[in-house]
Each structure stands twice: as C-alpha cells, then as structure tokens.
C-alpha cells in the first residue's frame, strides 16, 4: 500500500491498471493529465491500450476520445494511438505514433488554443466528460490531491468528468507540495466570469491542492515511473546565432526605454532553440528577470539557479533527465521560485496582456508578409499543433518567432512567398528571427515587411528567388497592398512535394 494515500477511505479504491482499464466503455470521452511530457498517467493508458487491442481482436468496436493538457509521452499517446483506438484527440500533441494516426486519418484532431481548452470543456463543446485520469503526487488526509509535475487541464477534468481514476506516482517528489497554485474562480462561465487577479508572475492567488468529489473516484493506481524527460540537443551554431539576435534586440529595447532593465516577463516555447535562448540569457546582461510561461525547461532552471531569474510561473515542467533529477532531489528549494498553475491561468490572455509578456516560439515557416505557420507541413500534414503559441502571440507585449532559415538539409526554405497554413497572422507577429538575422516588423506595411524579412532572415540561396517572386507579384497582382501571384504563391511547396526540394 502506498504511503502517499493519506485518506483512509480512499485506500480501498487501489487496484491494478488492467482492473481499472476494464471499467472503461467504448466511446468514452477521457480527460488525461499531462503537459509536455510531464505529469501524465504512466500505467493506465498502456492497460487501456491492451483492453482496446483485445476488443479489436474479438472484432468489437472500441474507440475513445483522448483529451489532455498538451503533449504526453509514448506511454500515453504512443500506446493508445498504436491501437487505432483513438477516435478524437485534442489539444497539442507531439508523439510520432499520434501524429501518424492523425495524418493517416485514423484519428480526428482538434488543435485548440491551450487557454481555450478549459472553457471549451466546461461549456460542453467537446461533449460530456466520462472519465478523468489524473496523475498526482499524493492524496491528503482529507482527500485533496497534491498535483505532480504538471497541472494543465486537471482542475477542469476533475470537476467535469463523471468518474475519476487517480495514479499516485511515487517517483514524483513529495516536496512538489507547495509549488502549485490552483485558482478555482477562473472556471466560471459567461456571464459570471471574474477578473484574473494576477499582477506579477510571482502572485499566488489560489490553493495548493486540487479538489475531487470522492464519490467519483472509481480506481486508484500506484505507480513509480519517471516523466518522459528527453535530453536537449547540444547548442549548435544556428540556435546560438538565433539566441544572439534576440538578446541584441532585447538589449536595444531596453536602451530605447521601451522595456525595463530586467525585461518584461518571458514566455518561451518548447524545443532546442527555445532552450538555447534561455541559455543565452544566462550569459546576457539582464538581472532579476521573471517568466510567465507554460513550460519550464532546463534553461529556465539554470536561470533560477544562477539568481538571474527571480521567479518562473508555468503549468508544467519539460526537463532533461538530469534536470528532472536535480529538481526532484531539491524540489523544496524551488518552491518560492516556481509556481505551477492550471493552463487556463498560465496562458490566460488577460494576465499575458496586463504584464506585457515577451513571447518567443518556434515555427515551421513564415511568409514574406509575416504570416506564420507553426503546425502544418506542405499544406496538409499536421506536425504537432498550435499549443500555447497563439495565447502568447496574440496577447503578448511583442511576439517573436524563431527557426533556422532552412529545413531538411537546405531543401526547404522556412521563408516562403505564402505560408501553406496560417496559425499566426501578420497582425500578431512582431519579430521573425533565423540564424541569418532578425526582422522587426512592428509598424511596417506588408511590402516593407517583405523587404526586411527577405534581406534579414532568408537563407542566401533563397534570397534571389524570393526577390524575383516579389517583382513578379508586384507586376501581376490585382493590388499593391499585399501583392501576390496566386498562380505561383504556393509553387515552392508544390515543387518540394514533386521533387523533394524547393530549389528550382
């Protein structure tokens, strides 16, 4: 019996993962904990996958809808997608098996802004929630839940699901207790919504635990497995160059008096480049920084350790194995520096706009006018999803997008005449950065932006073809505000699909 279940009555609900999976019915809408590979249930999803496989072998229909906070791990998205038993998935995912099921048309996928997910579930837009499966660190004597390494959608799923299965994960440090801030009033629906009283990233406004109606708990599983925790790639030339351009830009903003010396709260997306930007900040001149973001990566833990960053507010960790170990062993030392909140608070437009958050996210491609595609490859294939990038981009003080200027060994230009899909429109994008340089688009009209993006950000081997495109577009377009040649605007993508390269 786990020493982490302090409530007497709930101890009788402990069972094996396969026994818990046997309680699930075909067609259920299931809300799982988990955000960027942290705090997802470790054993139940594999057991459910076994149940789905067994049903399929018997020739029975068995599919479920899988809702999460954001991306999870092979043990959840991978295991369930492999069965072909995911009918519908939302929101952000990044698992190769899940991606394949989406792109083969086996699973429907709805790519919802992460801050919208809570309200949409509460409003019933995604249907009735049958089950919540939530990883926790421990259960208190009075039956409240100590969250684990992510909070994500847990408050909403626990409130709205008919039934609840808990995974008590003994791998998670018990000293995470005290790091969370769960604000309940924000779950109110219109016309009863309330203001979000966060004025600075360090503000604590809620309680330390999640509430659950004990009557809803149908099973408790005890686990002891680590989060996904993938190592970051060593910093390469491109990511260092991109980080350098952003840091120079921020220094200049301070010099111009447009930002305080300690900057404004930083948001940084997932991935190696985002981590490189954080590493750059470690070397940079800024002190006393804060972060209001959704994920805490290694670079941010380093900034907290160095004292350069005072506080980081997020909804989840996304750490390498070494950083996860460091955090797990010293969790209590981070309690006054790290706050984990539900994702409808960490990504709330009101807080992001009020505090003037600096947004920095990865992208697949940008076009010459500043529209950004974060999600689609060659028009139709889903890569991961929009995640929280839209929450921060639309509402931040300014928004930057980063990418190497080319992909697939130089065959693809990440600066194109027209994006093959738009996630962030030209109206929301302030700055585009590649290893080549930075284009500050603020205050510019489309044709002025095009010149800057091509000259500052495109790879040298694609600069001339982009200039040629602009010349042609200005000749044939039906207007000179955002000139396009509609016949060839997507020809670079078509060429890649036909020949394997955008190079003509």
Largest CA distance in the chain: 77
Q: Which stretch binds ligand 0RQ (CB under 6 A): 20-28, 129-137, 219-227, 271-279?
A: 271-279
Residue 429 in the binding site for ligand 0RQ (CB under 6 A): no
In 122-239, where do the E strands start and end?
131-139, 145-147, 163-169, 217-223
Q: Could you say whether residue 346 binds ligand 0RQ (CB under 6 A)? A: no
Residue 137 CB-half CA count within 13 A: 21
Has 86 been labeled as part of a binding site? no
Residue whose C-alpha is closest to residue 107's, from 73, 75, 78: 78
- Mark the segment that binds ligand 0RQ (CB under 6 A) among 301-309, 380-388, 426-434, 473-481: 380-388
How deeply is 251 buried, as exposed, middle or buried, from its count of CB atoms within 10 A (0-12, 13-18, 19+)? middle
Distance, in Å, from the CA atom of 485 to the CA atom of 417, rounded to the nearest integer, reads 9
Q: Which of 137, 374, 395, 430 binds ligand 0RQ (CB under 6 A)?
A: 374
Q: Is 383 in the site for ligand 0RQ (CB under 6 A)?
A: yes
The stretch near ligand 0RQ (CB under 6 A) out of 5-13, 242-250, 265-273, 306-314 is: 265-273
Least distance (Å) between residue 60 CB and ligand 0RQ: 35
The least CB distance from residue 458 to ligand 0RQ, in Å, is 12
Which among 262, 283, 266 has a CA at the least distance from the CA of 274? 266
Q: Does 490 bind ligand 0RQ (CB under 6 A)?
A: no
Q: Which two tokens stand for residue 480?
A: 């000179």
Q: Does 118 bind ligand 0RQ (CB under 6 A)?
A: no
Q: How many residues does the chain have?
A: 504
Q: Which two tokens stand for residue 98?
A: 């899940």
Assign residue 410 a region (left: φ > 0; alpha: ψ between -120 and 50; beta: otherwise). Answer: left
The b/e string for 273-289 (b: 16+ C-beta within 10 A; e otherwise) is bbbbbbbbbeebebeeb
> Which position has the token pair 């029975």?
60
CA 69 to chain centre: 9
Least separation in angstroms between CB 32 and ligand 0RQ: 15
Q: Which stretch binds ligand 0RQ (CB under 6 A): 46-54, 222-230, 302-310, 385-393?
A: 385-393
At 317, list the tokens.
Answer: 């960790």
Is 408 a residue that touches ligand 0RQ (CB under 6 A)?
yes
Q: Which residue, 47 or 273, is less far from ligand 0RQ as judged by CB?
A: 273
Positions 435 through 464 that interact with ligand 0RQ (CB under 6 A): none
Near ligand 0RQ by CB under 6 A: residue from 75, 294, 426, 435: 294
Does residue 295 interact with ligand 0RQ by CB under 6 A? yes
Among the listed residues 415, 421, 416, 420, the one whose alpha carbon sits nearest the alpha carbon of residue 435: 415
Does residue number 412 form part of the binding site for ligand 0RQ (CB under 6 A)? yes
Asked whether the beta carbons of 76 and 48 are under 8 A apart, the reply is no
**223 near ligand 0RQ, rule: CB under 6 A:** no
The least distance separating ligand 0RQ from the CB of residue 407, rounded to whole angstroms, comes to 4
Alpha-carbon distance of 169 to 148, in angstroms, equals: 8
Q: How far is the CB of 83 from ligand 0RQ (least distance, A)?
A: 24
How far is residue 454's CA from residue 368's CA, in Å, rounded to a whole number?
7
d(CA 502, CA 494): 8
Q: What is the DSSP letter of 231?
A: P
* Using rule CB under 6 A, residue 365 touches ligand 0RQ: yes
| Residue 485 near ligand 0RQ by CB under 6 A | no
Establish whether 451 is an annotated binding residue: no
CB of 497 to ligand 0RQ, least distance (A): 11
Residue 240 CB, nearest approach to ligand 0RQ (Å)? 14
- Nearest residue (CB) to ligand 0RQ, 244 versus 387: 387
- Nearest Cα neighbor of 300 from 321, 330, 270 is 270
> Applying CB under 6 A, does 364 fall inside the site for ligand 0RQ?
yes
Question: Does the annotation flag 371 for ligand binding?
Answer: no
State yes or no: residue 377 binds ligand 0RQ (CB under 6 A).
yes
CB of 388 to ligand 0RQ, least distance (A): 4
Q: Is 330 or 380 the residue whose CB approaches ligand 0RQ more closely? A: 380
Phi first, then psi: give them for residue 61, nearest 5 degrees: -75, 130
Q: Which of residues 30-49 bind ligand 0RQ (CB under 6 A)?
A: 36
Q: Residue 45: which of 70, 72, 71 has the closest Cα?
A: 72
Query: Which residues belong to the active site?
Result: 294
Q: Computed over its alpha carbons, how large is the radius of gyration of the chain?
A: 23
| In the complex, minimum distance from the CB of residue 149 to ligand 0RQ, in angstroms, rounded to a whole number | 14
Considering only 244, 362, 370, 417, the residue that binds ligand 0RQ (CB under 6 A) is 362
Under the criterion CB under 6 A, does residue 75 sit at the interface with ligand 0RQ? no
Q: Answer for the pair 242, 402: CB distance below 8 angstroms, yes or no.
A: yes
Is 388 labelled a binding residue?
yes
Mapped onto helix, strand or coil, the DSSP state of residue 158 is: helix
What's 186's DSSP letter? G
Contact region with ligand 0RQ (CB under 6 A), list: 98-106, 284-292, 379-387, 448-456: 379-387
343 binds ligand 0RQ (CB under 6 A): no
Three-state SS annotation for 43-59: CHHHHHHHHHHHHHHCC
Under the rule (CB under 6 A), what is the footprint of ligand 0RQ? 36, 70, 92, 114, 269-273, 294-295, 361-365, 374, 377, 383-384, 386-389, 407-408, 412, 414
Give the residue numbers of the binding site for CoA.
Answer: 364, 384, 388, 408
């Amino acid at each position: 019996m786990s020493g982490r279940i302090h409530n007497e009555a709930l101890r009788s609900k402990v069972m094996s993962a396969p026994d818990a999976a046997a309680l699930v019915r075909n067609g259920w809408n299931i809300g799982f904990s988990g955000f960027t590979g942290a705090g997802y249930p470790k054993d139940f999803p594999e057991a459910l996958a076994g149940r789905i496989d067994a049903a399929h072998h018997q020739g029975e229909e068995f599919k479920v809808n899988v809702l999460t906070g954001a991306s999870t791990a092979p043990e959840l998205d991978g295991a369930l997608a492999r069965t072909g038993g995911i009918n519908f998935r939302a929101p952000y995912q990044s698992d190769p098996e899940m991606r394949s099921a989406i792109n083969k048309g086996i699973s429907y996928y709805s790519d919802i802004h992460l801050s919208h997910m809570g309200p949409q579930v509460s409003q019933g837009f995604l249907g009735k929630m049958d089950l919540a499966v939530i990883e926790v660190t421990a259960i208190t004597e009075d039956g409240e839940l100590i969250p684990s390494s992510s909070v994500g959608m847990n408050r909403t799923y626990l409130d709205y699901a008919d039934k609840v299965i808990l995974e008590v994960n003994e791998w998670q440090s018990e000293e995470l207790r005290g790091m969370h801030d769960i604000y309940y009033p924000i779950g109110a629906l219109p016309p009863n919504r309330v203001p979000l009283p966060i004025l600075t990233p360090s503000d604590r406004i809620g309680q330390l635990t999640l509430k659950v109606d004990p009557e809803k708990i149908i099973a408790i599983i005890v686990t002891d497995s680590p989060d996904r925790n993938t190592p970051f790639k060593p910093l390469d030339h491109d990511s260092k160059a991109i980080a350098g351009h952003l840091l120079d830009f921020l220094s200049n903003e301070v010099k111009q008096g447009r930002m305080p010396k300690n900057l404004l709260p930083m948001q940084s997306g997932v991935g190696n480049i985002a981590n490189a930007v954080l590493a750059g900040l470690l070397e940079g001149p800024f002190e006393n920084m804060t972060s209001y973001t959704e994920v805490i990566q290694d670079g941010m833990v380093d900034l907290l350790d160095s004292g350069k960053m005072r506080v980081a507010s997020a909804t989840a960790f996304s750490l390498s194995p070494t950083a996860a170990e460091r955090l797990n062993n010293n969790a209590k030392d981070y309690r006054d520096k790290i706050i984990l909140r539900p994702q409808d608070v960490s990504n709330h437009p009101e807080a992001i706009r009020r505090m003037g958050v600096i947004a920095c996210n990865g992208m697949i491609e940008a076009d010459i006018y500043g529209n950004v595609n974060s999600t689609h490859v060659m028009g139709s294939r889903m890569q991961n999803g929009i995640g929280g990038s839209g929450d921060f981009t639309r509402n931040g003080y300014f928004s930057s997008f980063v990418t190497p200027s080319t992909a697939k060994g130089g065959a693809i230009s990440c600066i194109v005449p027209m994006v093959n899909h738009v996630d962030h429109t030209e109206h929301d994008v302030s700055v585009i950065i590649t290893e080549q340089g930075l284009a500050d688009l603020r205050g510019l009209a489309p044709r002025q932006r095009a010149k800057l993006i091509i000259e500052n950000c495109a790879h040298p081997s694609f600069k001339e073809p982009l200039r040629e495109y602009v010349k042609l577009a200005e000749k044939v377009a039906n207007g000179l505000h955002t000139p396009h040649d509609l016949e060839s605007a997507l020809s670079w993508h078509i060429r890649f699909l036909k020949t394997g390269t955008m190079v003509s």
